[in-house]
Chain A
Amino acid sequence: MGSFTFARLLPEMLGLNGSSQNASILASYLNHGGHDVKILDIHSSADAPLQVDAVCVGSGSASSLLPAATSIISLVSAISRWRSAGALVMAVGTGWDLLGHTVTTPEGEVLPGAGIFASHADHRGTRFSGEVTGIDHQGRASAGYVNQVGAIALEAGASALMSVDDAVSGYPRSEGLVGENLFATRLGGPALALNPHWCQDLAQALLEPRGEKLHRTEFHERIDHAATRARRLIDARLGVVRN
């Protein structure tokens, strides 16, 4: 059984509301399949190791945007190096915004992003705060809570993570971004806990290059069950009936 190293970027700035805990959730998912995971918190380029298997970044608040943008720029060479070596990148909310191509601040200033994701964030819009539910790119029921300001636009050719049910007013139908070893979402908090099928995808993406598979245990069955029940309650609150 293999061991993995995750780089969790700027958790002190980009760790709001459980969002940086997605790294721990994916680690726990792999742990229960018999794999060791070490999570390194990266506060500056001085902390950046030569190689990691996954890069995880969470979301932040308004006052974190400028300092986090500055810090991300200082980490671009490390992130690019990790990506070139095949590292998976998982980003939530503000972290996704900053790993995209550009972020437009509420004041209209355009900040450069790390350019990892084919997306452009704009923080000038209104805030959406509420539960959302839908079907992901592989047809699986998926849900969570979004609490984000403004909007994010995908570049042509980029694929959305999920399609949000139109029963939810005021939120775009398309949510998140997926690509080769790329995963991004505006579903806040521990999106992977509520959607363990995404953990499964990410675990597979990490294991396949090594010729390994995840050994599923009772733990995986239990979290699938709990997450399904939790998502069904979200569906019920939103008035969505799924077959």
Chain B
Amino acid sequence: MRLFAFALAKILRFLTRLRGGGSALPGFFLLRLLPHALERSLGTLPLGVIFVTGSNGKSTTTSMLTGILRAHGLRVFSNPAGGNLPQGLASALVGSATLCGKVAADIAVLEVDEAYGPQISDLVTPDWVVVTNIQVDQLNRFGEPEAVYRLLATLGMKAKVGVVVNGSDPNTTALGAQLHAAGSRVEQMRVSAPAQASASHGLVSAPMFFDSPPLLAVAAGVVITAVEGSHTSVEVAGVAASIVLPQKGLHYAVDAGLALEMASVVVDNFQLERAVMALENNATVYGRGETIRYRGVDIALTMMKNLPSLQVNLDAFSSPLENVFIAVDEGTPDPSWIFDADTSSLASVSILSGSKAWQWALLLEHRGIPYGEIIEDSRAGLDAFVKRVPAQNGPLHAIVNYEQMMLIRRIAGYKELEGA
């Protein structure tokens, strides 16, 4: 049955990739035929399974952690960015496993959707869970940040060894304190006050109200001491290091800090120099600060999944952006949060696109930010954008939601998809 299931799933994967891009379909079929496939294949890896979850930064932290572990000579199984639901994880397994379901890896690092974390932990039990943050995210889906906290607490309790948290996010600190009090091993990464002050809006944690201030009585293994643009200073077990990350901004530094914290705990012969090199050479994850080329024009994609991701990205720009392309569609069911954003980094918008473009127009009107045309169709909007916006130093800028990011990449001829 095992051989049959993997063979069928691999054929399906081959067929779906013929049309370009990837699909979660092979993973869906694999889990239907072999519900324990993930546990059987990954549960026996010598260094175990790490889940990376939280509101934002999952993909980048997963990518950074994977890079650090590989730099230490470890063979790492991981899922592509965004393929963080059960079928996405199983699809990644279909791509990497032999027909017998064996994976040539020492450790698995899995990006896991925060809502599906408890369910995925039933499919493969994590040894470690890394929680990046709890921010205001997808309220249409979660209702409120407290629901995410409860899901992550449930997942954290399932970790066989322990949990790594961002000890400067009061919500994940409270989560760590709760798990620590319940007997779990908890490790934390912290961000110094000056480093937090490097971004106008700090860590943008969700406003949650606890009966008493959360206190996590665990020493921080990694401390981010300073952030300036892409330059990040850290201390790992008291040893200082400087890193030039591929991307600017406090949020990337936090992702790097969490990756360092987890790697330093799980790798026996952890070497900071190797880790720093891996972080400096880490490839940008899809759409997160990625620059694509369309009709001969370079366009830097900035993703706005939610208020915190929009805000930290806007905060990371050193000067106000002009002639920006903004596209939002139904992938953001309720864009109300845009009205909470500090848009002082937006000097002007060239084209508004997508089915929620008019709601963005209302924000820009009330903020007095000039904008050009509204073209609901994304392809037509993108064409107008590259034709009309004059050349400038560096790439043009597009601020898009996840679905528009994927669509624009496809329009620009970038065929590979997340979750493949």
Contacts and interface: CB of A to CB of B under 8 A. Distances in A.
Interface of A: 12-13, 15-19, 21, 24-25, 28, 61-64, 66-67, 127, 129-131, 145, 147, 149, 188-190, 193-194, 219, 222-223, 226-227, 229-230, 233, 237
Given A61-B144, A67-B209, A193 B362 contact: yes
B359 interface: yes
Contact of B336 (A17, A130, A223): A17
A28 B210 contact: no
Contacts of B82: none
Question: In which size bucket is the chain B interface?
Answer: 20 to 34
A226 B210 contact: no
Instruction: Tell me if B's interface is mostly helix, strand, loop or mixed.
Output: helix
Interface in B36-81: none
Interface stretch (B135-143, B272-280, B291-299): B135-143
Contacts of A28: 366
B145 interface: yes
B366 A25 contact: yes
Contacts of A24: 339, 366
B362 A223 contact: yes
A203 to B, nearest CB: 14
Interface in B369-383: 374
Contact of B337 (A17, A63, A229, A233): A17
B339 A193 contact: yes
Given A13-B209, A64-B209, A222-B365, A189 B358 contact: no
Instruction: Tell me if A's interface is mostly helix, strand, loop or mixed.
Output: helix
B359 A16 contact: no
Contact of A145 (B141, B334, B358): B334
A18 B336 contact: yes
Interface in B313-352: 330, 333-340
A188 B363 contact: no
Given A18-B336, A19-B336, A190-B339, A226 B362 contact: yes
Nearest to A27: B366
Contacts of A129: 139-141, 143, 333-334
Contacts of B358: 226-227, 229-230, 233
B333 A131 contact: yes
Contacts of A223: 362, 365-366
B336 A63 contact: no
B362 A189 contact: no
Contacts of B207: 12-13, 15-16, 61, 64
B205 interface: no
A21 B140 CA distance: 18
A64 B146 CA distance: 10
B362 A61 contact: no
B334 A17 contact: yes
Given A67-B209, A227-B362, A230-B358, A188 B336 contact: yes
Given A19-B336, A145-B334, A223-B366, 11 more contacts: A12-B207, A17-B136, A17-B139, A17-B334, A25-B366, A64-B207, A67-B209, A131-B334, A194-B359, A227-B362, A230-B359
